[in-house]
A and B are shown apart, each in its own frame.
Chain A
Amino acid sequence: MKPLFKIDLKRIPSFNDKSAAEREKNFELFLKGGFPSKKDENWKFSDLNFIISENFKNITNNDNYKFDEKIESINDFDHNKIILINGSLRSYDLKFEERDKVKIERLKSSEGSYDQIKNNLHYLNKALSIGGYKLEVQKDYKCKKPIIIYNYFTENLDNKIINNSNEIKLNQNSELTLIDYNIGKKSKFIKNTFEKININKGSVLKNIILQKTKGNCYFYRNISGTQDYNSSYQNFILSSGLKFNKIEIDMNLEKEKSSCYILSGLNLSKEEHQEIKTQINHLAPNCKSYQKIKNVLESDSNGVYQGKIFVKDIAQKTDAYQLSKALILNDKAEFNAKPELEIYADDVKCSHGSTSGSIDAEAIHYLMTRGIELREAKKLLIKGFLNEIFDNITEEKIRTFLEKSITEQIDENR
């Protein structure tokens, strides 16, 4: 822990003397425990402390938010834009939406997270957070086009740490598709993000997390949210290409008929380590949750899935499902899973499945007898394996775009 940090709180843009004491207190709390290690049950399969101390020393906080490159946007479908530079809100353009129906604000500190989270990385975030954005969709408004969050990271971020926090709120009967699009340069840095999501009655939030290029980055993202009556949350995680990435989703289904979908398709290559950890709390009757986690592991990559379904005693008629599947393509690759059920109601349908293994030799044989060479056959099967998770994306153009991105990833890795 000794030479790991060289933090200067004054470099935080929104820093003022009023918040100084609070930030210092949180930083001290963080230092007491440091980065979580595998002794912590939540980090059993991803020893962050080890990973960080192997790769970093003299971590400083970033104070550079200059960016003058041309922004290259996605042309495959119409969309609104939010632009973040190194985690901080730069600008936005909501040209497809009606005026005042979607509100975006700048956050200055760690407002976008729940206070009750007791987690060392949360202390770190509260100490160093530069804020982020707050997005609110008004009552009865269904967004016409998706919003893409262009998450740019500049060149000079070596050994820097970025702490930000965002908040998303959907008021009654609203709808939004949000795409997180990470674009990084070659520098090696850490990002620690906390997000608060609030989905009200009858609202639908779709969130897609996508990585444009491979990056030498170490990401942690904590999403915690609450869902009201008949609301729906869908999360698609396609963030392959990071050195380390852990996404932790904590969703509370507080009222009846709410549903939560978490789908992930990751294709990990050399020295990549990704973990998806979920906790779905069924707190009311008649809710549904569905998780499907797919990993393709090449080279010495490491995939982890820790999922927990909690069903409270009053949450009768719960329908909860967890599935994790991994294709291990190299003897150095590793897949660890801990799909957990904690159930206190009897009239429920809860099940989980987990499989890991190699590509089906018979399927390869079948393809090869039809004149497809081994390399192509493998690619085809991997594509089929991952593409399955797009079935839930109804928007044709977005689906085509995601399929294209995944195909590029697979081609790059093989």
Chain B
Amino acid sequence: MKSEELKNQDYKYGFTTEIENFKAPKGLSEKTIRFISEIKKEPKWMLDWRLKAFNRLKVLKEPNWQKPKYPKINYQDLYYYSAPKSMKDKPKSLDEVDPKLIETYNKLGIPLNEQKRLSGVAVDAVFDSVSVATTFKGELDKKGIIFCPISEAIQKHPDLVKKYLGSVIPLSDHYFATLNSAVFTDGSFVYIPPNTRCPMELSTYFRINASETGQFERTLIIADKGSYVSYLEGCTAPMRDENQLHAANVELVALDDAEIKYSTVQNWYPGDKDGVGGIYNFVTKRGACRGRNSKISWTQVETGSAITWKYPSCILQGDNSVGEFYSIAITNNHQKADTGTKMIHLGKNTKSKIISKGISAGQADNTYRGLVDIGAKAKNSRNYTQCDSLLMGNKCGAHTVPYIKNKNSSSTVEHEATTSKINEDQLFYCNQRGLNQEEAVSLIVNGFCKEVLQQLPMEFAVEAQKLVSISLEGSVG
């Protein structure tokens, strides 16, 4: 039986890379933070900023209102910094990078060698706590676009980092965001100068390799006046029977007439069939449409992680700004997801659109939680929200928790949600035409997700479609 075979198919990216690691001492303390800051050769202001966050962290409590509960995390039992030893002295070019690392990325289907790549995507590869390589730097430099690891940006472009870091997600925002501010290790930094259209997709590939580590990366993207950038993010991790924490912060800033498109295909290790192991994906993503006519669009395909808990949000400050959120969250076996978005309308004529598709199978729990808040000054604003859930089997759950606030007589908010199972008639129709159960479900589910999938850049869309099918394998029949 095909479905039986598929059931046993393992997580494709579950291998480990045997590589010597260089780690910070275990545990969360001022010492660890100083260690990270020192190894990154950070200026004093950055260390002060981290310590301020650490002090704030001492008084904060972990939030507990979320639907998926998890065992208490022992923050003293984690490594906050882990890097391949060969990365200690930064390699000057790709030729100097440890071949083992290059091989790892080749295995993941992300060749770092520029000739081998589809042209048109620049990649920043982050392995545990450090950025391994950034491709296509030269071409981007010509346009004045900065795309580099954030640790490099702190040294080379301190003015930009100082101005924007923490301006969307403040230091004291909430527990995991503050934790990230204190101990973040690496991530990507993007600056698009005024009136520039980034000629290629920028992409970061995150990989957690070492055990007992948490990955805390920080991404900051600034689109200056009249610019455009499309940014992709992908993630995988080896199979381990422990739960690993991933607490990233992503900040986006769009100035006048700028547009940022941020796409994520999240495929962290989801744990095994019985729910052992897997990544806790507790990520804070927030974008600010600061300028007039600016636009931020989030697209996410969430198939991995034991627990996904994130709300990519838009703060629509500038008049006429636009926020969009397209999401597919698929949970199977014992996976849990609590995801959604916040659209905060502050400027006049702001628009937002939310399309969320949740699919749960096995014993999984899938929650859409979202906020649409139209302020008193956001005249003529508009929101449209659609969230659909699909249930496969009666051991899983699908939940919708929208918060809708409207303080304005000229604004319109619309929200609709449905929950259902796969239509028997549709299945029958497909079966009749020679598709087996598995193929039929995959076809129907892909159709269910189509509105979101078509928002993804081409290179990602194909991968995402495959991922949607694979994630649900073994859940029917």
Residue in B closest to A344 when the chains form the complex, CB atoms: B397
Residues of the A chain whose Cβ atoms lie less than 8 Å from the Cβ of B391? 343, 345-346, 348
**Does A334 contact B395, Cβ atoms closer than 8 Å?**
no
In the complex, what residue of chain B is closest to A315 when comparing beta carbons? B394
Q: Nearest A residue to B376 by beta-carbon distance?
A: A331
Given contacts A333-B409, A337-B404, contact A313 B415 (CB under 8 A): no
Complex CA gap A341/B391 in Å reads 13
State the Cβ distance, A364 to closest chain B Cβ, in Å: 14
Is the pair B389, A343 in contact by a Cβ cutoff of 8 Å? yes
B395 touches A353 (CB 8 A): no
The answer to whether B409 touches A346, judged by C-beta atoms less than 8 angstroms apart, is: no
Q: How far is the CA of A348 from the CA of B400 in the complex (A)?
A: 15
Judging by beta carbons under 8 Å apart, are A351 and B417 in contact? yes
Do the beta carbons of B401 and A340 come within 8 Å of each other?
yes
Binding site for B on A (CB under 8 A): 41, 313-314, 316, 326, 328-358
Task: List, sorted by A's number, 16 A–B pairs whose CB atoms are closer than 8 Å.
Answer: A333-B407, A336-B406, A338-B401, A340-B399, A341-B389, A342-B397, A347-B421, A350-B418, A350-B419, A351-B419, A352-B400, A352-B416, A353-B414, A357-B413, A357-B414, A358-B409
Contacts of A314 in B (CB 8 A): 394
**Chain B 374-404 interface residues, beta-carbon cutoff 8 Å to A:** 376, 389, 391-404
B411: Cβ under 8 A from any A Cβ: yes
Asked if B413 and A341 make an inter-chain contact with CB atoms under 8 angstroms apart, the answer reads no
If A335-B406, A340-B399 touch, does A346 touch B393 (CB 8 Å cutoff)? yes
B100 on the interface (CB 8 Å rule)?
Answer: no
Flag if B401 contacts A326 (CB, 8 Å): no
Q: How far is the CB of A366 from chain B (nearest CB, A)?
A: 19
Asked whether any CB of chain A lies closer than 8 Å to the CB of B410, the reply is yes
Closest to A306 in B: B403
Q: Are B399 and A342 in contact (CB under 8 A)?
A: yes
Known: A331-B376, A356-B412. A341 touches B400 (CB 8 A): yes
Q: Which residues of A contact B404 (CB under 8 A)?
A: 335-339, 354, 356
Residues of B395-445 whose CB lies within 8 A of A: 395-421
CB distance from A37 to the nearest CB of B (A): 16
Q: Please name all residues of chain B whose beta carbon is closer than 8 Å to the beta carbon of A352 when the two chains form the complex.
A: 400, 415-417
Alpha-carbon distance A344/B401, docked complex (angstroms): 15
A341 partner, pick from B403, B407, B414, B417, beta carbons under 8 A: B417
Chain A residues in 8 Å Cβ range of B407: 331, 333-334
Provide the bound-state CA to CA distance between A352 and B394, in Å: 21
Q: Which of A313, A338, A345 has the most CB of B within 10 A?
A: A345
Of A330, A334, A346, the contact of B405 (CB 8 Å cutoff): A334
Min distance, Cβ A131 to any Cβ of chain B, angstroms: 37
How long is the Cα–Cα vector from A354 to B420 in the complex, in angstroms?
19
Select which of A340, A346, A349, A357 is within 8 A of B411 by beta carbon: A357
Give the docked Cα–Cα distance between A350 and B400 (Å).
Answer: 11
| Bound CA span A339–B415, Å | 10
Q: A346-B393, A357-B412 are in contact. List 6 more A-B contacts (CB 8 A).
A: A341-B399, A342-B397, A348-B391, A348-B420, A350-B418, A354-B414
* Residues from chain B with Cβ under 8 Å of A353 in the complex: 414-417
> Across the interface, do B408 and A331 meet the contact criterion of CB distance under 8 Å?
yes
A326 to B392 alpha-carbon distance, docked (Å): 34
Question: With A and B bound together, what is the CA distance between A337 and B394 in angstroms?
Answer: 28
User: A330 CA to B396 CA in the complex, in Å?
Assistant: 43
A81 to B: closest C-beta gap in Å: 41
Task: Give the top 3 A-B pairs by smallest Cβ distance, nearest first.
Answer: A357-B412, A346-B391, A354-B415
Q: Which residues of B contact A349 (CB under 8 A)?
A: 419-420
CB pair B413–A354 under 8 Å, yes or no, is yes
Residues of A within 8 A of B395 (CB): 313
B398 touches A341 (CB 8 A): yes
Q: B414: which A residues are within 8 A, CB to CB? A: 353-355, 357
- Contacting residue for A345 out of B394, B401, B405, CB 8 A: B394
A338 adjacent to B402 (CB under 8 Å): yes
Complex Cα gap A354–B392 (Å):
26
Q: How far is the CB of A217 from chain B (nearest CB, A)?
A: 25
B65:A356 contact, CB within 8 angstroms: no
In the complex the two chains form, what is the Cα distance from A35 to B26 in whole Å? Answer: 46
Bound together, the chains give a CA A349 to CA B391 distance in angstroms of: 11
When chains A and B are docked, how far (Å) is the Cα of A326 from the Cα of B374? 14
- Nearest Cβ in chain A — how far from B61, in angstroms? 14
B418 contacts A355, C-beta separation under 8 Å: no
Chain A residue at minimal CB-CB distance from B392: A346
Most chain B CB within 10 A, of A316, A330, A355, is at: A355
Residues from chain A with Cβ under 8 Å of B394 in the complex: 313-314, 316, 344-347
Tell me the minimal C-beta distance from A45 to chain B in angstroms: 8
Q: How near does chain A come to B366, taking the closest CB pair, in angstroms? A: 10
Contact between B418 and A351 (Cβ–Cβ < 8 Å)?
yes
Distance between Cα atoms of A283 and B376 in the complex (Å): 41
Q: What's the nearest-Cβ distance from chain B to residue A410, in Å?
A: 17
Question: With A and B bound together, what is the CA distance between A328 and B420 in angstroms?
Answer: 32
Q: How distant is B347 from chain A, measured CB to nearest CB, in Å?
A: 16
CB distance from A401 to the nearest CB of B (A): 31
- Which residues of A are found within 8 Å of B418, using beta-carbon distances? 350-351
- How distant is B67 from chain A, measured CB to nearest CB, in Å? 9
For the complex, what is the distance from the CA of A335 to the CA of B410, rounded to whole Å? 13
- Are B419 and A341 in contact, with the CB atoms below 8 A? yes
What's the least CB distance linking A74 to chain B, in Å? 35
Task: Kindly provide the distance from the CB of A269 to the nearest chain B CB, expressed in whole angstroms.
Answer: 14
Report the nearest B residue to A350, measured CB to CB: B419
CB pair B419–A334 under 8 Å, yes or no, is no
Within 8 Å by CB of B409, from A313, A330, A340, A345, lies A330
Separation in Å of the B209 CB from the closest CB of chain A?
37
Instruction: Check if A343 sits within 8 Å of B399, measured CB to CB.
Output: yes
Closest approach, in angstroms, between the C-beta of A169 and any C-beta of chain B? 33
Which residues in window 84-133 of B have CB below 8 A to A?
none
Q: Whose C-beta in chain B lies nearest to the C-beta of A318? A: B419
User: A354 contacts which chain B residues (CB < 8 A)?
Assistant: 402, 404, 413-416
Residues of B within 8 Å of A344, CB to CB, are: 394, 396-397
- Interface contact B409-A338, CB-CB below 8 Å: no
Residues of B near A333 (CB, < 8 A) are 407, 409
A339 vs B419: C-alpha distance in the bound complex, in angstroms? 13
Alpha-carbon gap, A349 to B423, bound state (A): 11
Nearest CB in chain B to that of A328: its residue: B409
Shortest Cβ distance from A297 into B: residue: B409
Q: Specify which of B392, B402, B406, B419 is in contact with A356 (CB 8 Å cutoff).
A: B406
Residue in B closest to A354 when the chains form the complex, CB atoms: B415
Which residues of chain B are within 8 angstroms of A316 by Cβ–Cβ distance? 394
Contact between B408 and A328, CB atoms less than 8 A apart: yes
Interface residues in B11-68 (C-beta closer than 8 Å to A): 65
Residues of B within 8 A of A338 (CB): 401-404
- CB nearest to A304 among chain B residues: B405
Alpha-carbon distance between A348 and B393 when the two chains are bound, in angstroms: 11
Minimum CB–CB distance from A6 to chain B (whole Å) comes to 36
Find the residue from A355, A356, A357 having the highest chain B CB count within 10 A. Answer: A356
CA distance A333 to B396 in the complex (A): 40
From A334, A339, A342, A346, contact of B406 by CB (8 A): A334
Q: Which residue of A lies closest to B373 (CB)?
A: A336
Q: Which residues of B contact A328 (CB under 8 A)?
A: 406, 408-409, 411
